Amino acid sequence: MLALWSAGLVRFARRQPVGAASGAVLVAVVLIAVFAPTVARYEPTQVFRGEALLPPSSSHWLGTDDVGRDVWARIIFGTRISVTVGLVPVTIAVLLGWLIGLTSGYFGGWFDLLVQRVIDAWIAFPTLILAITLAAVMKPGIQNVLIAITVIFIPGAVRVVRSVTLPLTESPFVEAARALGASHTRILLRHILPNTVAVVLIIGSISIAGAILTESGLSFLGIGIQPPTTSWGQMLSGSGRARLNDAPWIGIAPGVAIGIVVLAANLFGDALRDHLDPRLRGRDA
């Protein structure tokens, strides 16, 4: 099993070097998040008296912000939020979307009709407005940002999984299984589900970037992650933004950090799509 996995990884790396490099960046970000206290050098909330708004130097690699906190430490601890936001809600949303899309596509009928109408209405809510309202319903904070982002990403996953399930349901091998007397559960789990794994992986990896951008937007608006927890979007809200003029490093650092992670997530998702779905290969990279 392990050998199989590593052989698959090598093949992926050979065919999609950019994707593999992006994957490595993402793994590095996860490691940074895990070992943040070691990498950060300081606490993200530690205030250096009399050292506010210092430009980058050897003691403060990315300078200090308007209250004298180390920007590097805040960026490093910010990876924890981005990693959580990129993994937890996306995984939950994709799993739920998978379940709903699979069953509604397979069983069809009134259930499918109902699901489709609900998804139509769901998608009609502009995502950020929905997130803002949800975050407000539940008071701001990490937990609610996670819930809001999960809610946003479910309908897309349902749609994609359903669209892949529909033709599978009509395919000869499913018909054959049905003729052999296989139960619905067996057909779904053994015949249809394995054929949807690729698309689920693709939609999951592509959603990571969107999730991170949504969190940073919410935090920027002040309805996302609340202090003292540090998030990249939040670093640009409030007083940090007001001092940009004399201390641009406060604002440039989180933008670059978001850019790197989102770029890596996008490129990785694209590469995964090209690798797993041969029909799309070379169309858009």
Partner 1 sequence: MQTYIAKRLLLVLPTLFLVTTVTFLLVRAMPGDVLMARLAESGLLGSSAGGFNDAEREALRERLGLNDPLPIQYVKWVGGIATGDFGESLWNNQPVAEVIGNALPATLQLGVMALALAWLLALPLGIISAVRRNTVRDYAARFITIGGIVLPDFWVGVIVILLLSKVWNYFPPLLFVGLFDDPRANLEKLIIPALILGFRLSAIGARMTRSAMLEVLGSDYIRTAWAKGLNERSVVMRHALRNSVLPVITVLGAQLSILIGGTVIMETLFVIPGMGRLAITSVTARDFPLIQANVLVLSVFVVFANLLVDISYGFVDPRIRYS
Binding site for partner 1 (CB under 8 A): 117-118, 120-121, 123-130, 132-134, 136-139, 209, 213, 216-217, 220-221, 223, 233, 236, 241, 244-245, 248, 251-252, 254-255, 258-259, 262-263, 266, 283-284
Residues 195 and 274: beta-carbon distance below 8 Å: no
Which CB, 118 or 182, lies closer to partner 1?
A: 118
CB of 280 to partner 1, least distance (A): 9
Give the span between the Cα atoms of 66 and 63, in whole angstroms: 10
Residue 111 CB contacts under 8 Å (≥ 6 apart), including other chains = 103, 104
Residue 3 CB contacts under 8 Å (≥ 6 apart), including other chains = none
Which CB, 227 or 259, lies closer to partner 1?
A: 259
As a 3-state breakdown, the chain gives helix, strand, coil percent values, each rounded to 5, of 75, 0, 25
Which CB, 114 or 176, lies closer to partner 1?
A: 114
CB of 262 to partner 1, least distance (A): 5
CB of 225 to partner 1, least distance (A): 14
CB of 15 to partner 1, least distance (A): 17
Which CB, 105 or 210, lies closer to partner 1?
A: 210
Residues 164 and 202: beta-carbon distance below 8 Å: no
Concatenate the DSSP letters of all residues of 244-281 into one string. Answer: TTT-THHHHHHHHHHHHHHHHHHHHHHHHHHHH-GGGT
Which CB, 83 or 236, lies closer to partner 1?
A: 236
Give the span between the Cα atoms of 228 and 45, in whole angstroms: 7
CB of 97 to partner 1, least distance (A): 16
Give the span between the Cα atoms of 218 and 129, in whole angstroms: 10
Which CB, 192 or 265, lies closer to partner 1?
A: 265
CB of 259 to partner 1, least distance (A): 5
Residues 152 and 131: beta-carbon distance below 8 Å: yes
CB of 171 to partner 1, least distance (A): 19
Residues 36 and 89: beta-carbon distance below 8 Å: no
Give the span between the Cα atoms of 65 and 153, in whole angstroms: 34
Which CB, 188 or 205, lies closer to partner 1?
A: 205
Residue 188 CB contacts under 8 Å (≥ 6 apart), including other chains = 102, 103, 106
CB of 13 to partner 1, least distance (A): 21
Which CB, 121 or 197, lies closer to partner 1?
A: 121
